[in-house]
Every structure is written in structure tokens, then in C-alpha cells.
């Protein structure tokens, strides 16, 4: 969800030898690697919690949202995997999946199973996003969000603003609909039942990372919505009360049929304006360690309203400060579910993309950019030829897919990229994705300290390569520097 003008007014030295793998023509190469499923977490001294695999390796996840509610194609999912990404975020609509209460739509289920089946095939993880924009279709949202049969607006007025769809959230009818969704016992039961039935359907997919439980939650604003203090107080009350209760219900609903999936909670959109969330911690009823995460969005309101980004405004710094305390307190991995400017070709917005990628490298366990499509502008991450859109190149840089160590960080340099981490001393391999867009003629991989065992599968065509690095004799905490230089 992208905010518009109303929101602006309302919301405040030694080099290791490299052993190349044998690789034939692009079409003869093996299938994309299988994205490792995160089975646990590890929390660093600074409070940052990472997703980890069964060997304890950190698993930074990077990927894209698929165009919501459009017919995503197999080539979309394959293209994301080919370029070295490991995550897709898939929007689903309660309206489309349950147009009549009590029965899931078979055609929509088949569409969703196809998308997750492609994720299974091409080795990416899928985060299913229960999406809504301005509640649901009764308020002009097409077939998005909560069904008409689950919409109670008390016959209050709704006057859409064609120039500012986000303003619809403050209309009396929409406010009433959210209040009923949170408060009415039958609506609560129907919503939870829908989540249980869908989770039962989708649990067969090995690609299913889990669920983003409610996209960009909103709720009643008690008072003047033009007053930032009123908005902040209403958001805090929602997060501590009605929204927290909803998340508890939905966690239980999914866990009735699926104990494997990760469940991500979202704060209100005010976090983008530097307002820390007031969500409480949540208990996971699954056996063993909890699989709960935090999924804020990372949008600059002014940029979403058409401005070019101004680095003097402090947006990235304020946002980072606002979102770090909550996941640190509750030891939750942060997965940024949406981010990206509507026009990366503008110079300020191109700088914003670089700053956001660098910031998320410091605080997030993963991210999904908005969104995967081809075009000459808008949010499309690709140009019409399928190359990274101008300004979005930092999102397509190399990154560590699995790290046998701690504190991974990737830095773009004048001559290429540098990946740093501290070895964990296990001898397990660290795996780096080497996107072809960053290394069109191949890549040289140099590692410090000496003695590293390095295998490189060079990128070919649009297909990303892979570097695998093992440090069999490194002690825990040994600094590792990997230099990636285009050939």
C-alpha cells in the first residue's frame, strides 16, 4: 500500500584460491538452488534476530512482491529465482478466495496453488500476504480485501477521493467496518475460520515460508484525524487492544492445522513516520521454539505522494530508530514486507533505494521489494527489457544467501562489492548470490583470511551465479572479508 497526499498532511590481505565449478550452457545448468527453510533464529548482541537453518547459518531473505491479484506467471517466479533471490510475497484476497461465506472458491485456490507450485519448482520461499486496501470492495477496492458479506458500515457515508485513495480510511463507513471486524463475535469467528481453511490447503507446499497475517492494519480513529497526536494515540490503542486480539486469534487459527509456518505481525503504517509500534509480544502455541516475526513496511510518505526523496529529512534514520526496539525486545526476525519508491529514476529516489538497502542490511532478516513487473516507471523493479529499473540496481546486488557466521554486511565499492562477516567456527559453507546484472562478464572472488575453500559458479545470461566459501580452520569470531570484483 502506498500513501498519498492525505497521508502527508495527516502523518507525521591474503587472497584465497578460487576453484570454479564446471558449468555448461545456461540451458544445461542444474535447476536453481533450493532456498533453505528457516527452522530457527539467532539473536546477536545488538538485539538483531536472524533466521537460521538447521546448521545454524543465518539466512538473509531477499525478493519481491508479485503484482497483487494479477495472474502471476511461471516466468515471473522463475525470473526471481534465476536472478538469485529467495523470496516472493504473494498477496491473497479474502474476497476472491471466499466470495460466499463458508466455501472457498476452487478457481482462486487453483491459481494460488499454481503460484506456490512454481515456488516449489524454482526453489524460492513464499510469504502469503492477507492483503487489504481501504478494507474491501464495498469501498471501491475492486476485489481486494474483506468480502462485502463481512462488511458492516452502519449505513454511514463513504465519499471516495479519486486523487487520494488512502483518504478512504478516514471515512465514517470504513471506520465502522473496521470496528465491527475487530469487535463482532461472528465476524471474528468467520475470519479465523477462513485462515484455518486456507492454511490447511497451502501447508502441502514446501516453499511456504508462512503468513503475513494482516496487511497494513488500520482501525477506528477516535477524534480529529488531522491531528497527529490523535492518530498516534489511536494507533497505539489499536495495537495494544483490538489488533493484538486479532493477531492472537489468527495465530491460533493457523496453528490449528500448521505448526511449520512462520507467522508475521504488522504494525500500523505510522511506523513509517517514525512512530514506534505499541504491539505486545505474542505467544506461539506450536511445539518447540516460536516462529513469530515482525513485518513492517518501509515507505516514505512524501515520496509516495510524488516528491523526490530529500536525504535531509531524516526518514531512514527515524524509521530505523522506530522499528528496532520492538523486535529486539521480543527477539523477532524483521522481514520488511514492502518497500521501494514509485519512481526510482529520480535522483533522490535512486539514492533512497541505496540507503534503504544498506539500512535493511543492518536491521532486517529479509525483505520483499514492491514489486516484480516490467515497465517504464511506477513501482516496476524491471525496465521493459527485463533489466533492473534505473535506480533500483542496489536491490539487485550480490548478497549472502546463507552465512556460517554472524554480523553479515554487504557494501558496494567503486570496484565491486565487499561482504563481511565473522566466522562461526563450524566449518559450514557461506553461500553468496552473484546476480548477472552486477557481474555481466563474470566475477572474481577473493577471500581473507587465507586458507578458504572457494567454489564459484559464474553467472550466465540472466542467471545468477553462486560463491560457496568454507573456512575449515577459522576460529569463532574470525573476521572474514569477501571481495567481489567484476571481470
Domains detected in the chain = 5-12+46-400 (3.20.20.80)
Q: For 11-15, 41-45, 328-332, 398-402, which range has the lowest pLDDT when averaged over its residues?
A: 11-15
Collect all residues with Cβ–Cβ distance below 8 Å to 100 and sequence separation of at least 6. 149
Residue 358's SS3 state is helix
Strands 479-486 and 416-423: antiparallel
Q: How far apart are CA 334 and CA 438, in angstroms?
A: 26
pLDDT of 9 reads 42
DSSP string, 362-416: HH-SEEEEEEE-B-SSTT-SB-TTSSBPTT-GGGGS-EEEEBSEEEEEEEEETTE
- 274 contacts 12 by C-beta, under 8 angstroms: yes
Q: How far apart are CA 25 and CA 19, in angstroms?
A: 19
pLDDT of 23 reads 37
Residue 76 in this model has a pLDDT that exceeds 50: yes
Q: How far apart are CA 65 and CA 173, in angstroms?
A: 30
pLDDT in tens, 225-278: 889 999 999 999 999 999 999 999 999 999 999 999 999 999 999 998 889 999
Q: How far apart are CA 299 and CA 369, in angstroms?
A: 11
Per-residue pLDDT averaged across 119-124, rounded? 97
Residue 51's SS3 state is strand
Q: How far apart are CA 326 and CA 324, in angstroms?
A: 6
pLDDT in tens, 265-315: 999 999 988 899 999 999 999 999 999 999 999 999 999 989 999 999 999
pLDDT of 416 reads 93
- 124 contacts 86 by C-beta, under 8 angstroms: yes
DSSP string, 219-252: ----S-TT-HHHHHHHHHHHHHTHHHHHHHHHHH
Distances (CA, A) of 57 to 44, 346, 403: 13, 37, 5
In this prediction the pTM is 0.93
Collect all residues with Cβ–Cβ distance below 8 Å to 480 and sequence separation of at least 6. 405, 420, 421, 422, 423, 430, 447, 448, 449, 452, 469, 471, 474
pLDDT in tens, 463-485: 999 999 999 999 999 999 999 99
- 73 contacts 47 by C-beta, under 8 angstroms: no
Residue 457 in this model has a pLDDT that exceeds 50: yes
The burial of 145, by beta-carbon neighbours within 10 Å (0-12 exposed, 13-18 middle, 19 or more buried), is given as buried
Place of cell 460466499: 100
pLDDT in tens, 397-440: 999 999 999 999 999 988 899 999 999 999 999 999 999 999 99
- 341 contacts 309 by C-beta, under 8 angstroms: yes
**Percentage of residues in the chain having pLDDT higher than 70:** 93
Place of cell 531473505: 61
How is residue 171 annotated by DSSP? Answer: S
Q: How sure is the predictor about 326, in pLDDT bands with cuts at 50, 70 and 90?
A: very high
Residue 22 in this model has a pLDDT that exceeds 50: no
Collect all residues with Cβ–Cβ distance below 8 Å to 326 and sequence separation of at least 6. 267, 276, 277, 279, 294, 332
Q: Looking at per-residue confidence, does 196 or 414 come out higher?
A: 196
Q: Tell me what the pLDDT averaged over the chain comes to.
A: 91
Q: How far apart are CA 458 and CA 35, in angstroms?
A: 19
pLDDT of 3 reads 46
pLDDT of 69 reads 62
CA dihedral of 238, 240, 245, 250, whole degrees rounded to 10: 80
- 219 contacts 230 by C-beta, under 8 angstroms: no
Q: Which three cell numbers stand for residue 368?
A: 520483499
**Percentage of residues in the chain having pLDDT higher than 90:** 85
- 21 contacts 456 by C-beta, under 8 angstroms: yes
Residue 339's SS3 state is strand
pLDDT in tens, 139-168: 987 788 999 999 999 999 999 888 888 889
Residue 120 in this model has a pLDDT that exceeds 60: yes
Q: How sure is the predictor about 32, in pLDDT bands with cuts at 50, 70 and 90?
A: low
Cβ neighbours, 10 Å, residue 433: 24
Per-residue pLDDT averaged across 80-105, rounded? 96
Amino acid at each position: 500500500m502506498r500513501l498519498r497526499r492525505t497521508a502527508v498532511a495527516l502523518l507525521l590481505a591474503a587472497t584465497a584460491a578460487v576453484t570454479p565449478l564446471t558449468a555448461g550452457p545456461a540451458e544445461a545448468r542444474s535447476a536453481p538452488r533450493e532456498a533453505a527453510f528457516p527452522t530457527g533464529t539467532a539473536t546477536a548482541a545488538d538485539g538483531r534476530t536472524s533466521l537460521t537453518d538447521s546448521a545454524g547459518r543465518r539466512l538473509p531473505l531477499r525478493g519481491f512482491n508479485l503484482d497483487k491479484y494479477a495472474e502471476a506467471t511461471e516466468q515471473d517466479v522463475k525470473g526471481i529465482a534465476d536472478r538469485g533471490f529467495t523470496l516472493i510475497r504473494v498477496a491473497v484476497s479474502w474476497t476472491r478466495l471466499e466470495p460466499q461465506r463458508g466455501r472457498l472458491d476452487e478457481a482462486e485456490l487453483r491459481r494460488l496453488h499454481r503460484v506456490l507450485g512454481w515456488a516449489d519448482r524454482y526453489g524460492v520461499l513464499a510469504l502469503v500476504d492477507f492483503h487489504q486496501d481501504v478494507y474491501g470492495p464495498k469501498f471501491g477496492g475492486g476485489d481486494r480485501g474483506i468480502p462485502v458479506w463481512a462488511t458492516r458500515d452502519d449505513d454511514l457515508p463513504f465519499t471516495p477521493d479519486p486523487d487520494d485513495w488512502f483518504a478512504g480510511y478516514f471515512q465514517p463507513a470504513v471506520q465502522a467496518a473496521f470496528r465491527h471486524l475487530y469487535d463482532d463475535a461472528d465476524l471474528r469467528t468467520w475470519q479465523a475460520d477462513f485462515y484455518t481453511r486456507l492454511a490447511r490447503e497451502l501447508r502441502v507446499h514446501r516453499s511456504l515460508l508462512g503468513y503475513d497475517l494482516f496487511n497494513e492494519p488500520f482501525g477506528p480513529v477516535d477524534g480529529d484525524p488531522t491531528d497527529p497526536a490523535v492518530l498516534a494515540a489511536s494507533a497505539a490503542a489499536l495495537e495494544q487492544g483490538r489488533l493484538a486480539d486479532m493477531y492472537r486469534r489468527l495465530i491460533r487459527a493457523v496453528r490449528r492445522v500448521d505448526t511449520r509456518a512462520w507467522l508475521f505481525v504488522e504494525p500500523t503504517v505510522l511506523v513509517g513516520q517514525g512512530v514506534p509500534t505499541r504491539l505486545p509480544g505474542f505467544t506461539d502455541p506450536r511445539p518447540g521454539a516460536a516462529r513469530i516475526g515482525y513485518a513492517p513496511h518501509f515507505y516514505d510518505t512524501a515520496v509516495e505522494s510524488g516528491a523526490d526523496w530529500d536525504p535531509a529529512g531524516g526518514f531512514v534514520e527515524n524509521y530505523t530508530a522506530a522499528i528496532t526496539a520492538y523486535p529486539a525486545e521480543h527477539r523477532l526476525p524483521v522481514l520488511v514486507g514492502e518497500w521501494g519508491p514509485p519512481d526510482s529514476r529520480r535522483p533522490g529516489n535512486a539514492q533512497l533505494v541505496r540507503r534503504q538497502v544498506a539500512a535493511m542490511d543492518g536491521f532486517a532478516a529479509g525483505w520483499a521489494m514492491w514489486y516484480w513487473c516490467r515497465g517504464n516507471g511506477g513501482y516496476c523493479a524491471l525496465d521493459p527489457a527485463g533489466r533492473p529499473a534505473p535506480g533500483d540496481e542496489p536491490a539487485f546486488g550480490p548478497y549472502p544467501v546463507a552465512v556460517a557466521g554472524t554480523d553479515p554486511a554487504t557494501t558496494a565499492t567503486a570496484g565491486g562489492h565487499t561482504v563481511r562477516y565473522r566466522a562461526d567456527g563450524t566449518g559450514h559453507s557461506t553461500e553468496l548470490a552473484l546476480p548477472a546484472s552486477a557481474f555481466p562478464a563474470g566475477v572474481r572472488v577473493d577471500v581473507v583470511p587465507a586458507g578458504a575453500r572457494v567454489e564459484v559458479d559464474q553467472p550466465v545470461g540472466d542467471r545468477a551465479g553462486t560463491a560457496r566459501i568454507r573456512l575449515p580452520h577459522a576460529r569463532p569470531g574470525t573476521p572474514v572479508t569477501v571481495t567481489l570484483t567484476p571481470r
